[in-house]
């Protein structure tokens, strides 16, 4: 981000991954630039800056938000969770959605992965046992330039099974054998 202020600076006070943070930034600073450039949390990616790709998705008060669509000042007083904050920490392993990406090889270059994880966490909060179509709809705001959608959908299904305590082999689940071509989201 251009550090030169182009207008009034604002002091932003918020909580990020459980830590209280205060920074004074130009009022035009987007939340994505705030977390990346001011807090050094570069796991949140910038793929477009125009609300197309979802790589910048974070959680604001528990709701997935594309952080390039929001000013940092608008997040004042909020609790933000970035990809760095989703795992339990202290060696307690990964978030179930992260683990599912690991298990199902739900990534190629990994650029879209942080945003995908956030989008799928939101999906599973809204719809704990989603169908394949609901998964594709849930990630329709997130683009994977490697077109790894098949395994991303498989990861979402795996995370749902883990979360609902009904883990079973995806090969034994007939609805897991999608006929959608690689790269198709919906």
Footprint of ligand FES on this chain (CB under 6 A)? 46-49, 51-56, 66, 68, 107-112, 144-146, 148
The beta-carbon contacts of 1-6 under 8 Å, at least 24 apart in sequence, are 1/29, 1/33, 1/37
At closest approach, how far in Å is the CB of 52 from ligand FES? 5
With CA atoms as reference, report the closest residue to 80 among 13, 158, 162, 174: 13
- Decide whether 48 or 180 has the Cβ nearer to ligand FES: 48
At closest approach, how far in Å is the CB of 166 from ligand FES? 27
Q: Using alpha carbons only, what angle is made at residue 54 by residues 15 and 181, rounded to the nearest 5 degrees?
A: 145
Give the C-alpha separation, 182 to 23, whole Å: 43
Q: First-to-last CA distance in the chain?
A: 34
At closest approach, how far in Å is the CB of 91 from ligand FES? 27
At closest approach, how far in Å is the CB of 64 from ligand FES? 12
Tokens 């977390």 sit on residue: 35
- Decide whether 9 or 74 has the Cβ nearer to ligand FES: 74
- Decide whether 85 or 148 has the Cβ nearer to ligand FES: 148
Q: Which two tokens stand for residue 113?
A: 């992965």
At closest approach, how far in Å is the CB of 113 from ligand FES? 6
- Decide whether 111 or 170 has the Cβ nearer to ligand FES: 111
- Decide whether 9 or 49 has the Cβ nearer to ligand FES: 49
Is residue 135 within 8 A of residue 153, CB to CB? The reply is yes
In 83-172, where do the E strands start and end? none
Give the C-alpha separation, 166 to 126, whole Å: 18
């Amino acid at each position: 981000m251009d550090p030169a202020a182009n207008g009034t600076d604002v002091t932003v006070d918020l909580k990020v991954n459980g830590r209280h943070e205060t920074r004074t930034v130009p009022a035009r600073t987007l939340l994505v630039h705030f977390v990346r450039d001011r807090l050094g949390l570069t796991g949140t990616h910038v793929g477009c800056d125009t609300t197309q790709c979802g790589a910048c998705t974070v959680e604001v008060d528990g709701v997935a938000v594309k952080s390039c669509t929001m000013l940092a000042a608008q997040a004042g007083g909020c609790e933000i969770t970035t990809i760095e904050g989703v795992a339990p920490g202290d060696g307690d392993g990964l978030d179930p959605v992260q683990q599912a990406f690991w298990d199902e090889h739900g990534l190629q270059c990994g650029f879209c992965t942080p945003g995908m994880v956030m989008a799928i966490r939101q999906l599973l909060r809204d719809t704990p046992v989603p169908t394949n179509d609901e998964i594709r709809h849930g990630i329709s705001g997130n683009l994977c330039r490697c077109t790894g959608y098949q395994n991303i959908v498989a990861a979402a299904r795996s995370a749902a099974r883990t979360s609902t305590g009904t883990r079973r082999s995806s090969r034994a689940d007939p609805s897991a054998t999608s006929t959608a071509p690689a790269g198709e989201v919906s």
